[in-house]
Each structure stands twice: as C-alpha cells, then as structure tokens.
Structure 1
Amino acid sequence: MSRTLNRDDLADLARGAALLGTGGGGDPHIGRLLVDQALRESSGTITVLDPAELGDDALIIPTAQMGAPTVMVEKIPRGDEAVAALRALERHLGRRAYATMPIECGGINSMMPLLVAARTGLPVVDADGMGRAFPELQMETFSVYGVPGSPLAIGGENGETVIIDTGDDNRRMEWLARGVTIRMGGVAHIAEYSMTGADVKRTAVPNTLTLGLRIGRTLRTAREEHRDPLAALAATMADTLYDKVRVLFRGKVVDVERRTEAGFARGHATLVAFEGAGKLEITFQNEHLVARVDGEVRCVVPDLICVLDADTAEPITTEGLRYGQRAVVIGISTPALMRTPEALAVFGPRAFGLDVDFRPVEDLVPG
C-alpha cells in the first residue's frame, strides 16, 4: 500500500538507515539535510510505493551516490547531481521513469532517491537491491537475479554526465564507474539498473524504506520511554525478513586504522571488553565485513554487523568510529534471497577476498 513520507519522518529514517548501512553507505545525516531542504522547496511530501503495486511494465530507475564515505564528510553534494544522472539515463533510453528506487537501504543511499523524488515529483519504490549497504555496484540482488546494471549514468558536481554501457557485465560496469568517480573527486551520483516493475518484484528486497523508518522510530521511542533499545530493536525485527538479532560484543574502541584507497574506505577497528580480556576486531570496506572475537568469527557479510553507542544505541558509521567510544556490536540476519549460493557468490565473504565461508549469525552466536 502506498504512503507519504514527510520531513518529520526523516530523522527516524536516517537513524534506521545508519543501522542498516552496517557502518557504511555514507552518512545518512547529510542526506537527510539535503532531502529536508528539497522538501521545504517543494510539495513537502514524497509518495512511497509498495513494490507489489507496480505495474509489470512500469520503468523504474534507481538512483544513488557512489564513492568513499570518508570523502562525503568533507565533500557535500550540490544536490542536483542524482537528478542529472537520472535525466541523462532517460535520454539515453528514450523513456521517462515511472518511479525511482534505492539501490541500497543503508546509509545516505536511503536518502538519494528521496532527494530525486522531492526535486522531480517522482514516487519512490519501497524496496532496494542490497538489503543493507555494499561497496560495489555489482553487489545487488538485481544483479544476482539477472538484471543488468548498465547502461549507467554518472552525474558530477560540475554538471558533467557520463554514460557507461557494458551490457550484462556488471562487474566491469563497477570498475569503469569507480574510475570515473575517482576522477570526479571520489564521490559521484548515479542512475542504473533500469528495470520493469516485474523485475522489481522478482529481484528486490521489499519494504526496506519502511523497515528503516521503523527501526529508527523504535530506537528513538525506546530511549524516550527509558526502555532497553536493544531489546526493543530485537522485538521490532522479529516479524521482519531480518528476524535474528545477536549481541556480539560490548566494549571500548581502542584502535581504528582507516585509509581511503581506490575509491573505498578500508580498515580495521579494535574494541576491548568492558570486563575481562576479550577483544573484537572488525574489518571493513566502506561497510563492516567480518567481526572476530578473540580470533573467532562471530558475524560475516552479508549478515549485518552494526556498531551502536553503548548508552544510546545510536548507530556509529565507519567514518565516525573514534578511540574511546563505548559501543555494543550486534549482528543481524539477512533475508533468505541474500543467502542463496548465487547471492553469496556475488557478495558473500569470498567476494571480498576473505578466507572465510559464510555461516549465519544465528549459528555463530546461538540465541
């Protein structure tokens, strides 16, 4: 069922998107401010469509930002780059989009389609192609289940646009687009994976914008009512496609090694336990990929690894990790269509060069 989204919803959605971003996806707070300003200048609401309501022949063009999240902290978008990419792809296809959609529901890319919607009047489909955030463009459920990502349009901050068409080779599309993005300063905006409504219903993770909004609202109201936000989160997730929540570790951040290379933020974060001698290490590439406690894997991609403030349960992004932070690290199970052999071949641990096989978080940390 379709619904409207307004400025009052943005803070909760940004909080939920930060959690679903598993540390990456870009800071949703910046995206929230961009959408808020666009809504002030427009009708003030955005129409969000349930994917089940889409006509099979409707043209859906997802929009997003790509690049290193660490660059985004200092390189704020102008605000019209994603619209320019969408319009360039429409011209290339010779068709206008019926709606836009997120490629990922985590981080700033939960907000980019909303920014496009606020500036164009297009509706936004309540679904995405990652069910979280991933660092590379071929790492999409769209790609896994047969939708080509190209032709892809890239929009830069100086008004330039680039079209990349690699046919059904989504990995090469990512490689070329990453190179263009680096030359645009490390951040660019894109329109890609144009598809029909039938394709959306077949390949997308459904209702993830609603999920992000629900997560953010749950964490906020639990704090306001002086309830345990982690218990409230687990209860909220229990009737969703992300139904297993596990506490992996509680401790203090004692080291963060972070570098920006080849268009990604890569590194490690180390936490030591509040009590005892335990140690957790997280490896990330934009997003958290694997969490090890005393050398043993406790959660691994594509399951979600989320770092939250120990007192407020506010999500902490990879670029926001700092020495001395008190944190709780949780693991969350991903939907079944993200755990198939086909999906794991595209965005499982081996796809990131990790010498680890995927095991569900609920098996690694029994409830």
Structure 2
Amino acid sequence: MGYALTFEGLRDLAEGAAVLGTGGGGDPYIGRLLVEQQLKAGRTVTIIDAAELPDDALVIPSAMMGAPTVFIEKLPSGAGNIAALRALEAHLGRTAAATMPIECGGLNSMMPLLLGAQLGLPVVDADGMGRAFPELQMETFAVYGVSGSPMAIASDHGDTGIINATDNRRMEWLARAMTIQMGGASYISDYPMDAATVRRTAVPGTLTLARRLGAALRQARAEHADPFQALAAALSGTLYTHGLVLFRGKVTDVDRKTVDGFARGHVTLADLADPRDQLEITFQNEHLVARRNGRVVAIVPDLICTLNSETGTPVTTEALSYGQRLTVFAISTPDLMRTPDALDCFGPTAFGLADPYTPVEHLTAVP
C-alpha cells in the first residue's frame, strides 16, 4: 500500500538520498525545501509501489539535469518541472498516471516528489539508477530496453523542447547541449513507459530505502551511536547487501572543475595517524573510483560515499574542502546493476576507466 510522506519522512528521505547520491546528484537539501513548501501549503506526496498501478498506466519520470555546482549558485524554482511533464504529455497525447525518479540519489530524488505534490500525482517507489549517475543513458531502463525518447526539456524561463533521439546516448548529448544553453540546469521528463515496464526494468523500493537510511542516521545521532554501523544495519536485508567503511581521514587536496556540464576532479584523504596512508577518489559529479595507496578498493557502479566522520552527514563533491574529517563508506549495488549489459552501460569502461569492475565486497575481503 502507498503511504503519504510526512515532514520527518521527507527529511530522512533527503538525507538518505544524499548517501545514495555517492557525492553527486545535486544537494537534496534544495529540493527538500521546495517539497516542504508544498507540504506546508497543504499538498501531499504519496509514494506507491509500481504493482499498485495497472499494467498499461503511463509513468513519466522527472528530474533536473546539469552540473551540481550550478544549483548552488542559482536555486531552481521548480516551475520547469510542470512545463516539462506537460510538454511530454502533449507530445504523447496521453496523461501520466504517476511520476518517478530517474535516480534515487541527491536532488533528483526530490524532483518527482515536488512534481507529485504540485500535480497530485503518485510517485513510484523505484528508480532507474539505484544511486546517482552523471549521464541520462546510464539507466537500468536503458539497459533493459526502454528508450529515453521522446523526452521533454524545460528551463526556468519557460522554454520547452522535445528531443527524439536515435538512441539514448544521443539523447544525453543533445539534452546536455540544451542544458548548457539554458544556463547549466534544466528540467526533464524522459523514459516514458507503462507500469509493467517499470516493474521489469527499475530498481525497486529505493525511495523507501533512502528514507530508511536517513532515519538510521537520525536515530544514531540521537542515541550517540556509530552512524556507520547504523547505515550497515539499515542496508541489511535490502538489495544493497554490503555496507562498509573504506577509509577515515582528513581531506588534503581537492581538484574540482566544471567541464562540459559536469563537476570533474578528485579528492585526496590522508589517515590522521599515518599521513602516508592515503585514499584518492576520482569523480564526475559522482564518485567513480577509490584508490588506497594506488590500489582500487571500490569502483563504479558500487557506491562510494563521503560522510562526516562524527555525524555521518553526507558531503557532496561540490562541498568537499580542505581539512574536512571524512569517512568513506562503500555500498554494493543490486544484482540487476551488475550484469554484463549493465556494466557496459554504467560500469568503469563507460567512464573511460581502465580498471575492471570487481564487487566492493571482493576488493575489501580479508585474505
């Protein structure tokens, strides 16, 4: 059965989504405030399972696109959210029965909640990434045969457009170019599909998982408990079977640039007791690979999360700064994100990494 999201549930979900964002996806705090405005105005956000919809019900995912740093400098208004959905509905000649996230991490966990509140649409408890990824073709939807086109794109200024691309990679390329011209941030509605297809291709239960992780962190702080043990316990019994600490240390270097619409760079942490023991993370919006003293200890699509060492609060790539005390926490991805086709779509080679994919639980196993 579906459930209505409370203020506390929303805050838990936002923090859990920041964990699942693996450093990227945009800061969900901004989107959370937009959703809170809707709740204060008396509107509701209803989370449902895809099984609650008829097979032929139209589901249109919604999101924002752009470099996360842009959202700090220019806060989104949320107006383009509706414009993108309406443009796609008009193009399809059909009305959406529900919306859903394309990614459960970061800001884009919030945008469907905002749209659901704005229009009274239920939000499906699933997504197409199981985390956050920087490019639109990096979806389980795409891996399992769904076309992202036609997609709608809108700006905060009232501009809208429809993209009919020949494949999902070209859709990303065209939408990225339009997003840059729209000021580095846009609203999108893409991967329109029926509910039966959602059930076949999506990572299920990820909004509820995010809420569970956020609640675990909140309770750990209230009880002065270890937040990382709380996260590992919250992951137990879910599709994300392993959660473990990779490294604890101080940020000694951050190299971050906005290039081609992405926040790209790396961050280096040093162990407080032995500064020669170092971990370097490479990111493209999201953390892609972590190397400890040159050895890979976690790699995409597994999740590499940077969290405040005392509180467990997630720290995004755009918020990384010298001197921060961080704990790097890794989470294994669900099996449907580890198939050969999935790894071709969003594994190491998709990001130009030479390192092969090895599950994080194998990389960190004690010999």
Percent of residue pairs identical: 64
Matching residue of 1:147: 146
Please list the CA deviations of residues 302-357 of structure 1 after superposition, one character each: whole Å capped at 9, or x if unmatched.
00000010110111000010100001101110000000000000000000000111
**Partner Cα separation in structure 2 for residue 33 and residue 70 of structure 1:** 17
**Partner Cα separation in structure 2 for residue 243 and residue 29 of structure 1:** 27
Matching residue of 1:301: 300
Do the aligned residues in 2 keep the contact of 1:98 with 1:122 (CA within 8 Å)?
yes
Matching residue of 2:354: 355
Q: CA deviation at 1:39?
A: 2.0
Matching residue of 2:13: 13
* Aligned residue among 216, 238, 241 for 1:240: 238
With over 3 angstroms needed to count, the CA separation of the structure-2 counterparts of 1:42 and 1:83, relative to structure 1, is farther
Do the aligned residues in 2 keep the contact of 1:253 with 1:270 (CA within 8 Å)?
yes
Whether 2:19 is the aligned partner of 1:32: answer no
**Partner Cα separation in structure 1 for residue 65 and residue 54 of structure 2:** 29
**Partner Cα separation in structure 2 for residue 234 and residue 185 of structure 1:** 39
**Partner Cα separation in structure 2 for residue 351 and residue 106 of structure 1:** 19
Matching residue of 1:344: 343
- What secondary structure, in the 3-state scheme, does the structure 2 residue paired with 1:88 have? helix
The residue type paired with residue 217 of structure 1 is A
The residue type paired with residue 175 of structure 2 is A
**Partner Cα separation in structure 2 for residue 267 and residue 230 of structure 1:** 26
- What secondary structure, in the 3-state scheme, does the structure 2 residue paired with 1:73 have? helix
The residue type paired with residue 198 of structure 2 is V
Q: CA deviation at 1:53?
A: 2.0
- What secondary structure, in the 3-state scheme, does the structure 1 residue paired with 2:173 have? helix
Do the aligned residues in 2 keep the contact of 1:21 with 1:133 (CA within 8 Å)?
yes
Q: CA deviation at 1:171?
A: 0.3
Matching residue of 2:179: 181
The residue type paired with residue 249 of structure 1 is F
Q: How does 1:1-367 map to 2 (within 5 A)?
A: 1-43=1-43, 45-167=44-166, 169-276=167-274, 277-366=276-365
Moved over 6 A (4+): none
Q: CA deviation at 1:236?
A: 1.1
Do the aligned residues in 2 keep the contact of 1:246 with 1:361 (CA within 8 Å)?
no
**Partner Cα separation in structure 1 for residue 214 and residue 230 of structure 2:** 11
Q: CA deviation at 1:52?
A: 2.3
Please list the CA deviations of residues 241-280 of structure 1 after superposition, one character each: whole Å capped at 9, or x if unmatched.
0110121111000110000011100000000011222000
Please list the CA deviations of residues 9-47 of structure 1 after superposition, one character each: whole Å capped at 9, or x if unmatched.
22111110000000000000000001111222242x211
Please list the CA deviations of residues 200-221 of structure 1 after superposition, one character each: whole Å capped at 9, or x if unmatched.
0000000100000000000010
- What secondary structure, in the 3-state scheme, does the structure 2 residue paired with 1:174 have? helix
CA-based RMSD of the aligned residues comes to 0.8
Name whichever of 307-316 and 3-12 sits farther off.
Answer: 3-12
**Partner Cα separation in structure 2 for residue 40 and residue 50 of structure 1:** 25
With normalisation by structure 1, the TM-score equals: 0.98
- What secondary structure, in the 3-state scheme, does the structure 1 residue paired with 2:45 have? strand
Unmatched runs of 5 consecutive residues or more in structure 2: none
Do the aligned residues in 2 keep the contact of 1:47 with 1:123 (CA within 8 Å)?
yes
**Partner Cα separation in structure 2 for residue 358 and residue 175 of structure 1:** 25
Q: CA deviation at 1:160?
A: 0.7
**Partner Cα separation in structure 1 for residue 42 and residue 120 of structure 2:** 9
